[in-house]
Structure formats: structure tokens, C-alpha cells
Structure 1
């Protein structure tokens, strides 16, 4: 039962690389997140994010709901964002990023309002439980319950047709979206027709000495996201090291990737997660899924939260809208 609540076309080849000289890297480093020990400072970061976002949204454009969990132990907050002008019937169900540890619907409200306005679609943002208070699989369970409930009956939030539901997430939220799609298939439940994964976490090893991905070595220090931060997020999300290779945690480890929704993966060139996101696209394509991969050159991790006039944001939404518009998109040959 959903109840009103107070919940707190131009694409590029993904394999194309553009050089980043030392001067440019130094400038970009000025925009890097302050170096903190997320294991100790995650609560401070959460408070800072909320203060930075300062969401001011007209009540007619953002409506809060609360969904009781199946176990009856808690409620899952959901915020529904309406665009200034609705131009499409698609409904984007959004899982926010933040390493499964930080981020919420308040801090992501500006991003979600941009998403609604720039796509012309309703956005449903899920405020899933966070680690370390609620480690794996708590947040994943919340996301799975919400999308399954919407696929069964989307009308409580004003959605008329479940065929129009699109999963979308950024970073850890894209990880959750990918895993939810796999779980829906494994449970024999109706799935979504499309998913959009923005710079997703798909693999477990982010050590520059052992990772199979060059981007971990090239962009793991001094930029928006570091190897050490990703490692801290994993430790908080999945305290048991042996559990971090489970495909429910890192979908690139899944043995069976067949029968997944039509997928758009957008990566950021200057992001240590770049290569694993693109590898997931290749793995999906190898399992005969319809996949398109787009790399935003010059972009840092987390760029979707930038102001809408930022070049990376404009490019990403151009690709997203082309993906949403093209129902008959063929398999990407790249």
C-alpha cells in the first residue's frame, strides 16, 4: 500500500580515448571531493550533501510516498518528480548513487528535477536504506520491492502503464538497477523493458595493483572518486570480504546475463569505474542483449549531478533522450 508521507543524438565510440595532459588533470583535481575516511566520516558527508543540495521544489512537482516493507519493519520513502512539461509517457525509476552509504532523495532532488525536466518524463526516486546501518542486502531489497510493486500496479503513483517503466541509476544506484534487473529475471517476475546505467559499479577489485581495468590505475587518485573511497564503500556495504564477489553485489560476476532489458550504459572518461562499466556492456552484448555504450569524454565521476548547462550533462541527456525515443533501436555494433 502506497501512502503519502514525509520522505525525508550524437554518440561516440566507447573505446575512443582522449589524452589528458598534466595541466588539465591538475585543474580537474581542484574539483575532486575532499579526501575523507568514509568509514568514519560518512555521517558528516551525508549532512554536507543535504546542505549543499538545498532542495526547493514546488509541492505540485514533487510528491512523497511511503511504502511499507514486506517484512513490516520499516517504510521505504519514494519521491515522485513531475517535469515542467511532460512530453513522454516513460516513467524513470531512479536509484541514487553514493556508494550505498551516502546520498538520499533530498540531496538528489536537484538532480531528479533536472532529470524530469530534461527528459520530459516523471521520475520516481527511491530512498533505499543505506550502509553501514543497513548493510547488504537491505538497500537492494528496498529497490527490488519498489520496482516489483510498480510493475505489479503502478497506479498509486499516477502511472498508467507498467510497460513505460525504465530503470535508471548512477554509480552505486546503477549497480542496484543492474542487479534488480537480474533478480527480476531469476524470480520469474515481469521485468522492465529498458535500463539506463550511469557510470555503474560492476566489479569488486579497485586496487591499482590487481584490478584488470586500466581506468582504475589511470584515474584512481586525485579526481572525483578514488580507489580508497570505493574500497571503503565496499567495506561498509558488504563487511564480509568473501561476499563482495557475489553477483548480487557486482553484476559483472554473474554467470548468466541473458534476457536483460534494452540497456544504455553511459561512462565518464576520467572515472576509475569507466572500464568496468563498459566491460559490463560488452558482457551484456555477449549474452545477446540489446546494449548501447556511450563514453562522455572529459567527464568526471558523478557528473550527472552538475548543473544542467554543463557540457557533460547536456551530452548525457541528448544520448538518454535518443535512447528513450528509439523504441526500435538495433543492437549497437561498436
Structure 2
């Protein structure tokens, strides 16, 4: 469904650039949970698990596709600005993801800011990835059958986990799918990216809201310069997984995502960059009747087809 003039006007009316996320993030979380209740069994098969990480455990939810037998894995990191979202609010998204891709989907309930600020979220996501890549018996998938995937803040986390994996040398993903990822720290009017000014108001996700999320996520202004916070600032992007990077036309994060994909490509990685026309930030969570969602899964299925046997 293209965004026509009437829809754009409605979206502008629904956008609140002065929304006080910083002081009301708990209320915002509650609204998101109410708006996205989990799908109900027995319409799909799922089970919950926990992975130990230091002094805490990380919940994960595993979604089984409809077909029997073993399956490749999509390790999914949800969006929500590192502050909102959880495995329940992304329940229906992951159910459809498993069905549409015929993959086992592992959704990670990483710790949220501001209760747990950077680098809690990437460390949780890395710990789950390490568990799956090193202990292959857990899901019966070879390391080359595991693909990292995330949307928005989750796309940031997927990119960061790949950087951490290269730097730490414990495992290395073969593929990553980054859906409108956050890759840079500056979303003020002084941002180097035109999409922040072009799409920073009127399209649900505002540039002010992104700034608020990042302020809640960071412990210190120095975090903004950390490549595990802003992967576009990494001095070296070589040795990264084969990448599918999908952006949205009407998204303040569009240009920084595409810049990250271009840098990956320039530094010798295999990268496919696709800008979804007539799409807003967050379209991946829409129902599958939306053409942008169907196109997104068509791109994903072509990307992962080579590891299906």
C-alpha cells in the first residue's frame, strides 16, 4: 500500500515531535505491549528458553515454522530504540517470520535501557549468538545456517554483534540482515544525513525521539563514538558477514543505514542495499497484507536461499 497524500496527512497528525520519551518511557512500553499482544496458541508452535550471561539470564523465544524437520535459524534482535519492545510485543512478527521464511526464529529479550544502559544490550545479544554458534547441538543448525537479523535498534545490534564477533574471534556469522538500522549517533539538525531533516517529522518516528532513545541508551556522551554504539564510526569494517540491508523511503534513519551498507561494500564485503519505496520506519512490523512487508520477505528469502538444502 503506497503512502498517498491522505495517509501522509494522517501520519503527520499522529506524529508528536515533543513526545517526552525520556520521562515517560515506562508508559510508552505499556502502550506498545497493549497494542501488540502475543499471538495465541495453538496457532503456532513456540517455546521459551533462557541463556546464562554472567549474573543474569537472557530470555529467548523460539518460533517453529509450519514444516517438520530441522531448519536454518534466524537470530532476531527486536527494535524499539533499545528502550521499548520485547519478545511479547514482537511475538506476531516472529511467528510470521518463521512461517514466511521456513526458518526457526530465535527472538532475544535483551536488557533494556535506561535500567540497563550501553553496552548491556549488545553484550546480551552477543552472548546468545555465541551460545548458538558454539553449541550447535542446541538447535541442530550448523553455524553457516544461522543468520543475524534485526530491525531499527535491533538492526544496530545485529551489526554490532557481527563487529564484536570479528573482534573477539569466538565465532563469525556468515550472513546478517539489517532492516532500517541505526548506525550513527547524531539525529539533530546538524546531522550529516539529509534523511534526518527530510523525514525527521511527520512520519511517526521523529528525529527528536531517536535523540531521546539514544540519550536513554547511553551512559556517557563518549558512548556515541564507540563503534559498538555507532557502527558507522568503526575504523575498520572489513571481515563482515554477507549483508542484506533494507531501508525505508520515509525514515530519518534511511541515509545512515545506506551509508553503512556502502562502507561495508567499499571495504570488501558482499552487500545488497535495497530502499523500500513508499515505506516508513517500522514497516517490518506491519501485517503481511502490506506490500512493503511482502517485498521485504521476498528479499529475505532470496538472500537466505543458498543455505537451504
Which of 134, 159, 183 is the equivalent residue of 2:164? 183
Residue aligning to 1:331: none
Q: How far apart, in 1, do the equivalents of 2:97 and 2:89 lie? A: 14
CA contact (8 A) 2:15 2:201 kept: no
Residue aligning to 1:279: 259
Q: How far apart, in 2, do the equivalents of 1:47 and 1:159 lie? A: 36
SS in structure 2 at match of 1:104:
coil
Residue aligning to 1:116: 98
> Are residues 1:68 and 2:48 paired?
no
Q: 1:308 to 1:23 in 2, by over 3 A?
A: closer
Q: How far apart, in 2, do the equivalents of 1:87 and 1:286 lie? A: 39
Residue aligning to 1:5: none
CA contact (8 A) 1:33 1:223 kept: no
Q: Deviations over 1:107-139 (max 9, x none)?
A: 000111111111111100000000000000111
Q: How far apart, in 2, do the equivalents of 1:21 and 1:235 lie? A: 33
Which of 218, 225, 240 is the equivalent residue of 1:238? 218
Provide TM-score, normalisation by structure 2: 0.94
Q: How far apart, in 2, do the equivalents of 1:22 and 1:218 lie? A: 16
Which of 42, 45, 58 is the equivalent residue of 2:41? 58
Provide TM-score, normalisation by structure 1: 0.87
The answer for unaligned runs of 5 or more in structure 2 is: none
Residue aligning to 1:168: 149
RMSD: 2.1
Aligned residues: 306
- Cα deviation for residue 26 of structure 1 reads 1.5
Q: 1:88-167 counterparts in 2 under 5 A?
A: 89-156=71-138, 158-167=139-148
Q: Deviations over 1:192-251 (max 9, x none)?
A: 11000000000011112x111110110001212111100001110003112212111010
SS in structure 2 at match of 1:259:
coil
CA contact (8 A) 2:180 2:281 kept: yes
Residue aligning to 1:294: 274
CA contact (8 A) 1:153 1:162 kept: no
